[in-house]
Structure 1
Amino acid sequence: MAGHGAPDIAPVDCHDLRVAVVAASWHTQVMDGLIAGAQRAFADHQVEAPVVVRVPGTFELPVTAAALAPSYDAVIALGVVIRGGTPHFEYVCNAATDGLTRVSLDHHVPIGFGVLTCDDEQQALDRAGLEGSREDKGYEAASAALQTAATLKRIKRGYTA
C-alpha cells in the first residue's frame, strides 16, 4: 500500500523561510489538488507568503526550479506524468527527477518532489489530495521541503538537532 511507513512528523515554524512552488499545468484537477495540498502544508508550517509559478508541464519544472532556487529557502515542484502508449513517460519522469535533484544539490536548496508518476489518471487523482483521495502528495512534498529547509538553517547556525 502506498504511504505505508510514512513518518509522522509534526509541522515546524517556518514563518521566516522564503518558499516558492513551481507547478505544471497539465491535468488541471490533479494539479489543483497538489497546489491546495501544498498550501495546507504552508499554513500548518506558518509560511507567510509562498510564491506560486506555473509552467506548461513537468518537463519544465527543473529549469524553473533552478531559476527560483537562488532566491528561496525551499522550492516545491509539483507535476504529474501519466503513462501513455509512447516512451515519453520514461523520458519526462527521468528528466524531471534528475533535473530537480541537480537543482537541489547545485543550489543547496531543498526541492519538494511532488511529481506524480502514474499509470493512469485514477492513480493521480488518488494521490492529489482531493476529497476522496487516499494520499496528499502536494502536502507531503511541501512539508518535506520545509522540514529540510528548517534543518539546513539550523545546521548553518551550528546546530544539528
Structure 2
Amino acid sequence: MSGSGAPTIEAPRAEGARVAVIAAQWHPKVTDSLVAGALRALEDSGVTDHKVIRVPGSFELPVVALHAAKAGYDAVIALGVVIRGDTPHFEYVCQATTDGLMQVGVTTGVPIGFGVLTCDNDPQALDRAGLPDSREDKGYEATQAALSTLVAVRAL
C-alpha cells in the first residue's frame, strides 16, 4: 500500500447538502466500518441530511448512485470492497463499478465519492476500512473528496 502523495483535505463545510451514502453488503466488517467513516466525515462537515442505502454488492452501486443523483442528492458516497480471487470476477466487477460510478458523476454532475476498496486480500481491505487498527479510513476520505468537489462545483 502506497499512501504516499495523498493530499491533506480538511473536512469541508457543507451544511445544507443532501448526501446519499450507498454501501455494499459484502464483507460487513469492512463495509460497516466504511459507512461509519463516511458518517463521521458528514458530521465533521456539518451535513445532517443524509441517507444510508445498502445494496447487495459493489456491482450494484452505480445504478443506485444514478437514482440518488436523479432524486436530488447533492453528493453520493459509494462504498464497497472487492477482494481478488482465483477467477476474472475481480477485474470485471472492479472495472464495471468504477466505470459506472464515473459515468454517473459525469452525466449528472453530482459528485461521487469513490470508496470502493479493490484489494488483493482481506488484510489489505481491513487496513483501509477505518477500523481502530487500520492505517487508512477510505470511507471518511471518499466522503471528504465528494464534499470538497461539491463545494468546488458550487463555487463556479
* TM band (smaller chain): over 0.9
CA distance in 2, matches of 1:2, 1:138: 17
1:145 aligns with 2:146: yes
CA distance in 2, matches of 1:85, 1:3: 26
For residues 46-67 of structure 1, give each alpha carbon's deviation from its aligned partner in whole angstroms, at most 9, with x where no partner exists.
1012111000000000000000
On the 8 A contact 2:16/2:49 being kept in 1, the answer is no
CA distance in 2, matches of 1:48, 1:34: 18
For residues 81-129 of structure 1, give each alpha carbon's deviation from its aligned partner in whole angstroms, at most 9, with x where no partner exists.
0001110000000000000000000100110000000000110000000
1:86-97 matched pairs, under 5 angstroms: 86-97=87-98
1:53-92 matched pairs, under 5 angstroms: 53-70=53-70, 71-92=72-93
1:8 aligns with 2:17: no
On the 8 A contact 2:10/2:144 being kept in 1, the answer is no
- TM-score normalised per structure 1: 0.94
Give the fraction of aligned pairs with identical amino acids, expressed as a percent: 61
Aligned to 2:36: 36
Count of residue pairs the alignment pairs up: 155
1:128 aligns with 2:133: no
CA distance in 1, matches of 2:16, 2:151: 9
Give 2:135's aligned amino acid: R
Q: 2:63 is paired with a residue of what secondary structure?
A: helix
CA distance in 2, matches of 1:135, 1:11: 16
Q: 1:51 is paired with a residue of what secondary structure?
A: strand
Give 2:19's aligned amino acid: V
Structure 1 runs not aligned, ≥5 long:
156-161
Aligned to 1:158: none
Structure 2 runs not aligned, ≥5 long:
none
For residues 21-42 of structure 1, give each alpha carbon's deviation from its aligned partner in whole angstroms, at most 9, with x where no partner exists.
1100000000011001101110
